[in-house]
Every structure is written in C-alpha cells, then in structure tokens.
Structure 1
Amino acid sequence: MQYSGSLPDIAKTQIETGTYPLQWVGMEGIAAPINIATAKDQQQVVAAKANVYVSLDDAAEKGIHMSRLHAILNELSTTACDKDGLGKVLKKMVNSQAGISQGARIELAFDLLLPKPSLLSNETGYQTYPIEICGQLQSGQYDYELKLSVPYSSTCPCSAALSRQLLANAIDSAFATSSIDKQTLLTWVQAHSIATPHSQRSYAYLNLSLGDNPLPFLPPLIFGIEEAIGTPVQTMVKRSDEQEFARLNADNLMFCEDAARRIKAMLEQSTWIKDYWFKVEHQESLHAHDAVVIDRKFPAR
C-alpha cells in the first residue's frame, strides 16, 4: 500500500528560537530576463541578476513564501521594467505573503548594450554599461534608485603643462636663431616626440535616488553624462577617430575635481533626481594609487 499524504510544509512548524520580526528575507542572484525601455516604444531585453526581499513583520511566522516571489519576478520577462511595472511587482510581492509582510524590495543588476558611433569615421561599435535598478515599497511609499558606471578618459593638466614646457625647451635648443622658418619648424615637430602628458581610463559611479519619479530612459542619461565630461571612451576607431580623441583630451584636460564638478552641475539641473551620491575615480598611470572624489547632494551629518 502506497502512502499518499500531503507534502510537508516545514515553514508552518513551530519557531524554536525567539519570536522577532526580520527586516528583509528573500533570495539573491536569480537569473531573470527583463525588458528595459531605451526610448519611447523601444525596449531591450537584458539578462539580469535579481535580488528580491520582503519584510517578515509577523514575529510568530517561521518564514516567508520564497517560491511566490520567484514566480512574481518572472513577470518582468513579459512586461516593461519601468516605474509602473516595478510598482506592480512590489505590491504583488507584499500581497503574496498573505499578511505576514508589509514591505518589499527588488534589485536588478545587468549590463546595458548600446551602439556607439565613432567620432569621425562613421563606424559603429558597441559598449556595455553596468546598471542597477532598485525599487522598494515600505509603509505604502514607493522609492526607486538607479545606479550606473560610466567610463571616460582623463588627461592631467599639470602633466600637459610640463610636457609643453619640455617641447618649448627642445625647440629652443634645436633652433639657435631668433626666427624660425615655418616649414622647418613644422617638419621638426612632426619628427620629434618630446613628452606626452599622462592620461588614464577613469570612471564615474553614480547612485541616483528618484523617490517616486519615473525611471529615465537610460541611453540619453548615459550619453548626457559622457557629453558633460567631454572625453568618452571609444569602441570602433580608425586613425582619424584616434586623432580626434587626442584633440578632445587636450581640449578637456581635467583633474578628478574638474570631472566631478561637471557631473555635479548636470545632476543639480536634473529635477527628477531627489538625491544623489557619486564617486569619480581616476586610475592613475603616473601614480600607484587612484585619485578620487566622492560627493552627494545633501552632505552627511
């Protein structure tokens, strides 16, 4: 005779330790395809890693219903991952717990792949940008957060000035007369590399608090940050693009403080951002350490 009893539910057994509510209980690192709006009526499906949590407010309850959260998360594969879509998911997460939870939180980390035209040659490459979208429902209040990383190039103003001085000294040594034939000077300059200023790949890490405002379209935000800094890293390049990149770096010599102020000016003009934190990191090629700036909208008390 085969036993055909119901499946055991250990989560309903008696709590053996103290009865306390818990702030967040859930799952991390769940693979999830999500739809990201890149423009009006345009979406990109990305492979995300998701963290989902609910509060365990009923101190007498042993645990939450995790499989219900997983099933609700899967709905983002067929709906837009925007403010409305995330809001519905957060509310369903709370409701799925049958009264034992009052809050929910979701974190979605992914790489956004964007086409990027070359500076002059009309070629196109692709670049990925690390993104994290967070949504939280607590005490009936929705809050959204956007985190992103944007690389760029930075050339040291001090090093550029020192390089120019060495070039001037070399010209002075090479030409003893008070006047120099223009073509002779141009030929000499083309043949001699006296010094180059140090430059490096740099990064801006941004954490933007949106409150209950809608999520922005990501491509215009990313390209706006790159434009504000002035020296975005490139993908597909030919010699004309590399030369233009060198010109852009010369036109935008910057310490980390300069880059930070450019970013801050852009953020301060963005009314949809309620609060922000950002870090600028210049991974120095001269030094064995990095130069950084950390700033936020409201100074920490």
Structure 2
Amino acid sequence: MRDVQNSSDMRGIAIQKVGVKDVHLPFLIKTKEGHFQSVLAKIELTVDLPQEFKGTHMSRFIEVLSDWSQKPVSGREMENILTDTIQRLNAQSAELAIRFKYFVEKVAPVSQLKSMLDYDCSFTGKLAQGGKLDFTMGLAVPFTSLCPCSKEISRYGAHNQRGLMRVNLKYAKGKFIWIEDLAALMEAQGSCPVYPLLKREDEKYVTERAYENPKFVEDILRDLVLALRALDGVEWFEIHCENYESIHNHSAYAAHVETVGIC
C-alpha cells in the first residue's frame, strides 16, 4: 500500500510544528504524597517536519500518548515522552502540552471540614534531538482580595472579590516543585484563600481574615514575585493576576515576567 504522506514535497517549505491537538485522554499525574491522580488531559503533541517530506505519521502521535497515559507523569517524565516521540516520528524536535484539572484537599480554617478544590494545571515541554528539555509548569489559583482603598474610606466594610493568579515557571535541572506546594505558596499571597466548603464559623474567619489583610492586585503580584524569587532552583517565571471586581464591570489586572537573577 502506497504511503502518500511519506512521499517527497518539492515546495521547499519546512514546517516547525505538525501533529495532533485537542486530544483528550486520561493521564496519571504524580502527587506529593507519592500516589497518582487520574485526570482528564487535553493534549497537544507536535514535531518538526523537514521541507522534503509531504506529511507526518499522525497515528504515531496517538500511539505515543496512549502508551504514556497509563504511566504516572510529572515534569521528569516529559523528557522521556518527547524522546519517544522524536524517535517514533524520526523528527529533530518535539513539543508537548498537557492541560488538566488537578484536585487538592482543602481543610476549612475553623471547622476543619475537608473538601476538594480544583486547579487548572499545565505541563509544557520542548526538546530538540540531543538537546536539553525546556519544561514549563503552569498553575492557576483562585483567591480572595479586599480593596485597601475601600477599607480606608468606608465606615461599614470594604468591597472584596474573587480573583485568579496564573503562574508559568521553569526551574533548573534536578530541581522540582510539587503542584500542591506551588498552589499553597500562590494562594498565601491573596487577602485570603478560597475554600470549596465553609460553615458559618469558617465564613466568619475568612471574611475577617480578608478584612485584616487588604491588598490591591498590584500588592498580590509583587508579593508573589518575592515568593517565587525565594524558591530554590526557579530560573524563570511569568505571572498574571486578575481581580474580578465586585463594584465594576471590568477586572483589575497586573502581569510580570522575570528571569531570576536578571530582574
């Protein structure tokens, strides 16, 4: 049977990325406790295509992903997945993005009731044949913010709202941070963390906690910058913070990108 996609192409155009996108598969993500969490992952896997080849072998991408979906994955396994892809596709480079919901147990501050909070996470890796893995971990964490200005000028309270902070970071080879630890570090920078389950005594606590810890979106971003700088092994990070304002029909927003040590 003739293999059309493996035939020659005479247009002289190399393609930087070709592959599969929006593939949904169950994946196993390593947890801090040494177990694994089964997640529904949304995946993009691509390779480069030299100018002389008409097409790539799309079925091989699914073969690679199907094999790896049965094995626990963290940042350390990304290099193996990409190496496997390069070898099976006879490529010079490969890129992989895995996006998924990750659940962490939260304990209410007073009642101590337990519930699960979901976080949007991503693992992204790039690898050239014989090169070093370029790995980025992404995490989005909700938080509560309370406006310092509103507290200062109001007699009866201050407006507060839910916000979302997003971090993408890269760390040095041999270094690692668990999703659970990064989530805790991030949510500590808001006026108060968000909890899925709160009883009345918990609601009193988080309301007063936020009131005693007012922060602008700029404050939250700057505190998060300092926290990420202090992490061992972090080489680069990107932050986006957004307050879904309760008294405006728009959001307050701040962003920052930094290569650690060259700020």
Q: Same fold (TM over 0.5)?
A: yes
Structure 2 residue aligned with 1:3: none
- Among candidates 30, 41, 54, match of residue 23 of structure 2: 30
- Among candidates 147, 161, 171, match of residue 152 of structure 2: 161
- Among candidates 243, 248, 260, match of residue 209 of structure 2: 248
Structure 2 residue aligned with 1:183: none
Tell me the percent identity: 25
Structure number with higher helix proportion? 1
Equivalent residue runs for 1:141-220 within 5 Å: 141-163=132-154, 166=155, 195-210=156-171, 212-220=173-181
- Among candidates 275, 281, 284, match of residue 236 of structure 2: 275
Structure 1 residue aligned with 2:93: 103
CA distance, structure 2, for counterparts of residue 210 and residue 59 of structure 1:
34
- Among candidates 10, 13, 20, match of residue 13 of structure 2: 20
How many angstroms does 1:84 deviate by?
3.4
How many angstroms does 1:229 deviate by?
2.9
Runs of 4 or more consecutive aligned structure 1 residues displaced over 4 Å after TM superposition? none
How many angstroms does 1:214 deviate by?
4.8
- Among candidates 184, 187, 191, match of residue 226 of structure 1: 187
- Among candidates 64, 79, 82, match of residue 72 of structure 1: 64
Paired residues of 2:139 and 2:168 also in contact (CA < 8 A): yes
SS in 1 for 2:48: strand
Structure 2 residue aligned with 1:86: 78
How many angstroms does 1:298 deviate by?
3.8
Q: For residues 216-270 of structure 1, what are the alpha-carbon distances to aligned partners after superposition, in whole Å with 9 as ceiling and x for unaligned?
A: 2211211121123351111111110000011110121011111111111110001
CA distance, structure 1, for counterparts of residue 109 and residue 217 of structure 2:
24
Residues 126 and 228 of structure 1: is their aligned pair in 2 closer, same or farther, counting only changes over 3 Å? same
How many angstroms does 1:215 deviate by?
4.4
Paired residues of 2:191 and 2:215 also in contact (CA < 8 A): no
Number of matched residues?
261
CA distance, structure 1, for counterparts of residue 111 and residue 211 of structure 2:
20
CA distance, structure 2, for counterparts of residue 229 and residue 144 of structure 1:
27
CA distance, structure 2, for counterparts of residue 239 and residue 108 of structure 1:
38
Residues 196 and 228 of structure 1: is their aligned pair in 2 closer, same or farther, counting only changes over 3 Å? closer
Paired residues of 1:146 and 1:210 also in contact (CA < 8 A): no
Q: For residues 59-99 of structure 1, what are the alpha-carbon distances to aligned partners after superposition, in whole Å with 9 as ceiling and x for unaligned?
A: 2111111211211112222222123322111001111123x
Paired residues of 2:119 and 2:141 also in contact (CA < 8 A): yes
How many angstroms does 1:207 deviate by?
1.2
RMSD: 2.0
CA distance, structure 1, for counterparts of residue 159 and residue 238 of structure 2:
28
Aligned residue identity for 1:159 = S
Structure 2 residue aligned with 1:126: 116
CA distance, structure 2, for counterparts of residue 109 and residue 215 of structure 1:
18
SS in 1 for 2:193: coil
CA distance, structure 1, for counterparts of residue 69 and residue 177 of structure 2:
19
How many angstroms does 1:37 deviate by?
1.3
Residues 266 and 251 of structure 1: is their aligned pair in 2 closer, same or farther, counting only changes over 3 Å? same
Mean CA deviation greater in 238-247 or 64-73: 64-73
CA distance, structure 2, for counterparts of residue 122 and residue 20 of structure 1:
60
TM-score, normalising length: structure 2: 0.93
Paired residues of 2:29 and 2:72 also in contact (CA < 8 A): yes
How many angstroms does 1:130 deviate by?
0.3
Aligned residue identity for 1:60 = E
Paired residues of 1:116 and 1:124 also in contact (CA < 8 A): yes
Paired residues of 1:76 and 1:85 also in contact (CA < 8 A): no
